Amino acid sequence: MGAKLHLAGIESFRIYEKAERIGGTWQANTYPGLSCDVPSRYYSYSFAPNPDWTHLYSPGPEIWAYLDRVARDFQLYDRISLGTEVDEARWVDGQWNVRTQDGQEAAYDFLITGAGGLVHTHKPHIPGLESFAGASFHSAEWDHSVPLAGRRIGVIGTGSTGMQITRALAPVAGRYELYQRTPQWILPVGNRRYSRPTRWLHRRIPALNRLGYKVWQTQIEWVLGRATVRDGFARWLVSSACRRHLNKIKDPELRRRFTPEYKPMCKRLLMGTKFYELFERPNVELIDAGIDHVQARGIVTRDGRLHELDVIVLATGFDAHQFLKPMELIGPDGIRLSELWDGEPFAYRTVALPGFPNVFTLIGPHSPFGNQSLFMISETQMDYALRFIALWRRGAVDAGWPSREATDRYNEELRAAIPNTIWASGCQSWYIGKDGLPHAWPWTPARHRETLAEPQLEEWELVPGSAGAVVTTP
């Protein structure tokens, strides 16, 4: 957003970041094997291509280095307050008064949130875990002081994180155990290294980067973008690829234990290869007997077996329904966002909040996050915010927020479309909210772009600016 503001000629902004480094998920997650399963050429800003990606799916540290480079290239570091957590933002006299945990206050005309979705770690209550004598930590809080080579490692959880850790650690551990509660479907997409000549060409011919972005965007949107939200060829294609991949497991008993009882993609799809075959190694075991408790020496499963371990990793995911928490937004008349949401975050078209003037939410509630590029999705939302800010700069509006009626109408339409999605086909996942429904964008990514192509100002409550009620979009 900072780069986009800069490109729009706006320099009067500040970015608050509670961590000591930029990068969000890419600074918090540092686990071995970390990478992104969206192709790097597409998992980038459209306005800042990176010809130097080393892999089709580049490793996490490289993605962090890319974000750092973008922040430097757009001179953003001067505008970022690192290690500064925002407690509260309150609408006072037509501006947002932002208060940080260390007591600083500053006023802004607009407030844009980019606080992420997978932030609050989910640490299940496993009886006795605190009595474990070895090292134990969540995947997003990796303790790099703990040696791993040759040791006995147990990883709990078989999501994208559990799979990536397994691929990195199973070959180096003395003994490696993956604790599976529910099997997952895996789409077999292989990674490959970009050669030096390929990188040289991408540096020399910038159009190649744009082409790569488009090619991957088209593929992902045509296949996964459709497969997840409607029945048809794309869904069949992905499902059969997952089934064929599973059927390659030679041992019928192991195949049975890895076979999910729900449809492919119901839980967020795992992507990658070279996973199942790890369980043919003598030092690697799939444990699906269920965890009973933990004691000083290791994990005791429900069949009474004690698994002696040196390290226990919780790859148990995140609570994805804690948007913006613990920050509080207090709008006009004292309306609090936590009360408006009451544990069920919702937004207007993923990007704005009814009753909260001049607020925009990046990757807000129901954004199309699935297996899409969050760079692209958030850019769509940034452009939407910038169109509104342009109206304000022209003096056409002083403040605006989506009406409650328009927000309710959009959310009703959204809820009506959710049963068509694969996420509602009968499984437990982090998409599911308190109401038992998946909280995700139930249409294609293309529809998200269409929905946010222009601010539909007839759905907004507007305070006219000094130039009068000129409400045509730029």
Phi then psi dihedrals of residue 174, to 5 deg? -70, -50
Instruction: Tell how far CA 464 is from the center of its chain.
Output: 36
Phi then psi dihedrals of residue 270, to 5 deg? -85, 145
Is residue 315 involved in binding ligand NAP (CB under 6 A)? yes
Is residue 37 involved in binding ligand NAP (CB under 6 A)? yes
Cα separation, 356 vs 358, whole angstroms: 7
Task: Specify the residue, 294 or 396, whose C-beta has the smaller distance to ligand NAP.
Answer: 294
Range 231-290, binding ligand NAP (CB under 6 A): 268
> Binder to ligand NAP among 423, 430, 441, 443 (CB under 6 A)?
430
Tokens (6 digits) for 146:
């703990």
- Angle formed by the axes of helices 206-220 and 196-204, to 10°? 110
Query: Shortest Cβ distance from residue 36 to ligand NAP (Å)?
Result: 5
Give the number of residues in contact with ligand NAP, rule: CB under 6 A.
Answer: 24
Is residue 162 involved in binding ligand NAP (CB under 6 A)? yes
Cα separation, 240 vs 185, whole angstroms: 11
Is residue 165 involved in binding ligand NAP (CB under 6 A)? no
Is residue 316 involved in binding ligand NAP (CB under 6 A)? yes
Task: Specify the residue, 264 or 357, whose C-beta has the smaller distance to ligand NAP.
Answer: 264
| Sequence letter at residue 34 | L
Task: Specify the residue, 365 or 400, whose C-beta has the smaller distance to ligand NAP.
Answer: 365
Cα separation, 424 vs 199, whole angstroms: 41
Is residue 72 involved in binding ligand NAP (CB under 6 A)? no
Is residue 358 involved in binding ligand NAP (CB under 6 A)? no
Cα separation, 123 vs 139, whole angstroms: 10
Is residue 161 involved in binding ligand NAP (CB under 6 A)? yes
Task: Specify the residue, 220 or 462, whose C-beta has the smaller distance to ligand NAP.
Answer: 220
Is residue 160 involved in binding ligand NAP (CB under 6 A)? yes
Could you give the string, one character per residue 91-130, with x where binding to ligand NAP holds by CB under 6 A and - elsewhere? ---------------------------x-----x------
Could you tell me where the DSSP H helices lie in 170-303?
196-204, 206-220, 226-227, 233-246, 252-258
The closest alpha carbon to 236, from 37, 431, 422, 441, belongs to: 422
> Binder to ligand NAP among 33, 317, 402, 465 (CB under 6 A)?
317
> Binder to ligand NAP among 127, 428, 463, 467 (CB under 6 A)?
428
Measured from each CB, the residue nearest to ligand NAP is 159
Is residue 159 involved in binding ligand NAP (CB under 6 A)? yes
330: left (phi over 0), alpha (psi -120 to 50) or beta: beta
Query: Shortest Cβ distance from residue 38 to ligand NAP (Å)?
Result: 6
Pairing outcome for strands 311-314 and 152-156:
parallel
**Residues 193 and 325 sit within 8 Å (Cβ to Cβ):** no
Cα separation, 62 vs 40, whole angstroms: 10
User: By the criterion CB under 6 A, which residues form the site for ligand NAP?
Assistant: 35-38, 118, 124, 156-162, 164, 181-182, 268, 291, 315-318, 428, 430
